[in-house]
């Protein structure tokens, strides 16, 4: 097992990465304020892992309730969130009862938001079971739900007490979902670490085959980069926005196509290629850099081109991005491979050119 820390003063917390962690209740128990927990999961993950986690926690003397939500991005909304509150209230969960998110990013984001709201804040634990959630969404405290007009528009910053990334759970993950997670892994190389990007290029086949050493290194390095950025700028006053490379375009794809049609990671992948193209138009990347971005995205089994949407649809959905300031769109682009910048200097002409080609 490897462990690293998200350094946020008295809200710091460990991320444990390795095989077999679902059975290691001793990693969770010290973070519980009382020996009661409610596991939030979904109809896909529950049959795979809920019984094991419950048995491990009960073995450590923890009373465990659960709520099983419908599965899918399309359910990341108020109605589904309310099912968690219903279960918490019906089960008389208290202020010290811990919510445990068992699942991918949808479950993690909703559980974290429920924890932030229930009785104005109860502790929560992240047990991410997709690659995307192990390298990104379980770390850093962004929680929330979607609105029909915009992705992740309703939410809160709320940090977990501990993150347990059990790499064995990736064995049951469909290949398409594994690729979606690789999009966020590639993102870390593009924004912050050219050497990691080169390592990913050399190891993509191993990663897609879930080679234990390769996948553990990729998760560890990704979490390390994310933890550094979050420690510097927890509430996205500036720097943290670089973690959104490809996301302005990607969120527009997700909303514009209808939630769940494109996976989040797929939309981010196509968005990162668009960001590389825009960076080339601004004279920062050259054609070879854009080709490299496309190639690694493709090697990960991800789309390297955006779907066809009317230009007005792009503008409409990109206009709901959280980086918009004074009505002006802002994008995360690349000064070079391994270095991101946030800029409002992308003209409508450039956008039209890259989005309607």
Query: Which chain residues interact with ligand GLY by CB under 6 A?
Result: 136, 140, 142, 240, 243-244
Is residue 247 part of the annotated active site? The answer reads yes
100 phi, psi to nearest 5 deg: -120, 120
| From 92, 120, 308, 357, active-site residue | 120
Is residue 240 part of the annotated active site? The answer reads yes
**Long-range CB contacts (< 8 A, 24+ apart) of 310-317?**
311/351, 311/352, 311/355, 311/356, 313/252, 313/256, 314/249, 314/252, 314/256, 314/351, 314/355, 315/351, 316/256, 317/150, 317/251, 317/252, 317/255, 317/256
Residue (126 or 279) nearer to ligand NAD, CB? 126
Contact predicate 189/197, CB 8 Å: yes
Q: How many CB atoms are located within 10 Å of the residue 11 CB?
A: 13
User: Residue 244 binds what, of ligand NAD, ligand GLY, none (CB under 5 to 8 Å, by partner type)?
Assistant: ligand GLY
| From 221, 226, 292, 330, active-site residue | 226
Q: Output DSSP code: residue 135.
A: I
Decide: is 104 part of the binding site for ligand NAD (CB under 6 A): yes
CB of residue 56 to ligand GLY, shortest distance in Å: 28
User: Residue 103 binds what, of ligand GLY, ligand NAD, none (CB under 5 to 8 Å, by partner type)?
Assistant: ligand NAD
Cα 91–chain centre separation:
29
User: Residue 130 binds what, of ligand NAD, ligand GLY, none (CB under 5 to 8 Å, by partner type)?
Assistant: ligand NAD
Decide: is 255 part of the binding site for ligand NAD (CB under 6 A): no
User: Residue 48 binds what, of ligand GLY, ligand NAD, none (CB under 5 to 8 Å, by partner type)?
Assistant: ligand NAD
CB of residue 256 to ligand NAD, shortest distance in Å: 15
Contact predicate 98/72, CB 8 Å: no
Residue of minimal Cβ distance to ligand NAD = 105
Q: Binding ligand NAD by CB under 6 A: which of 6, 40, 42, 113?
A: 42
Query: What span, in angstroms and rounded, lies between the C-alpha atoms of 41 and 29?
Result: 19
Q: Binding ligand NAD by CB under 6 A: which of 32, 56, 67, 180?
A: 180
CB of residue 133 to ligand GLY, shortest distance in Å: 11
Is residue 264 part of the annotated active site? The answer reads yes
**Long-range CB contacts (< 8 A, 24+ apart) of 224-228?**
224/4, 225/188, 225/191, 225/192, 225/193, 225/196, 226/135, 226/136, 226/139, 226/140, 226/188, 227/4, 227/5, 227/6, 227/7, 227/15, 227/139, 227/140
Q: Binding ligand NAD by CB under 6 A: which of 177, 193, 304, 321?
A: 177
**Cα three-residue angle 262-266-269, rounded to 5 degrees:** 145
Is residue 316 part of the annotated active site? The answer reads no
CB of residue 244 to ligand GLY, shortest distance in Å: 6
Contact predicate 134/168, CB 8 Å: no
Decide: is 152 part of the binding site for ligand NAD (CB under 6 A): yes
Q: Binding ligand NAD by CB under 6 A: which of 18, 123, 140, 303?
A: 140
Is residue 251 part of the annotated active site? The answer reads yes
Residues found near ligand NAD in the complex (CB under 6 A): 42, 44-45, 48, 71, 73, 76, 103-107, 109, 129-130, 132-133, 136-137, 140, 142, 152, 169, 172-173, 177, 180, 264-265
Residues designated as active site: 120, 142, 184, 226, 236, 240, 244, 247, 251, 264
């Amino acid at each position: 097992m490897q462990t690293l820390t998200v350094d946020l003063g008295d809200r710091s917390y460990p991320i444990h990465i390795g095989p077999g962690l679902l059975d290691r209740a001793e990693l969770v128990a010290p973070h519980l304020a009382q020996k009661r927990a409610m596991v939030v999961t979904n109809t896909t993950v529950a049959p795979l892992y809920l019984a094991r986690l419950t048995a491990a926690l009960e073995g450590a003397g923890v009373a465990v309730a659960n709520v099983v939500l419908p599965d899918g991005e399309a359910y990341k909304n108020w109605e589904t969130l309310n099912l968690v509150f219903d279960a918490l209230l019906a089960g008389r969960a208290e202020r010290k009862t811990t919510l445990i998110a068992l699942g991918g990013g949808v479950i993690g984001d909703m559980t974290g938001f429920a924890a932030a709201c229930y009785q104005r804040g109860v502790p929560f634990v992240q047990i991410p079971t997709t690659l995307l959630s192990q390298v990104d969404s379980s770390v850093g405290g962004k929680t929330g739900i979607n609105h029909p007009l915009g992705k992740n528009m309703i939410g809160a910053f709320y940090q977990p007490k501990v993150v347990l990334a059990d790499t064995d759970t990736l064995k049951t993950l469909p290949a398409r979902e594994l690729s979606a997670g690789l999009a966020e892994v590639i993102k870390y190389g593009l924004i912050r670490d050219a050497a990691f990007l080169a390592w990913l290029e050399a190891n993509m086949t191993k990663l897609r085959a879930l080679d234990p050493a390769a996948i553990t290194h990729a998760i560890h390095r990704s979490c390390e980069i994310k933890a550094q950025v979050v420690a510097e700028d927890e509430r996205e006053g500036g720097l943290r926005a670089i973690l959104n490379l490809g996301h302005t375009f990607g969120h527009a794809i997700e909303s514009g196509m209808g939630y769940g049609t494109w996976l989040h990671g797929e939309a981010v992948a196509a968005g990162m290629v668009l960001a590389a193209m825009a960076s080339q138009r601004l004279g920062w990347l050259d054609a070879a850099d854009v080709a490299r971005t496309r190639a690694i995205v493709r090697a990960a089994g991800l789309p390297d081109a955006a779907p066809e949407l009317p230009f007005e649809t792009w503008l409409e959905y990109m206009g709901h991005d959280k980086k918009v300031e004074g009505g002006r769109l802002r994008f995360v682009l690349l000064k070079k491979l391994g270095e991101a910048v946030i800029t409002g200097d992308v003209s409508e002409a450039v956008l039209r050119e890259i989005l309607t080609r």
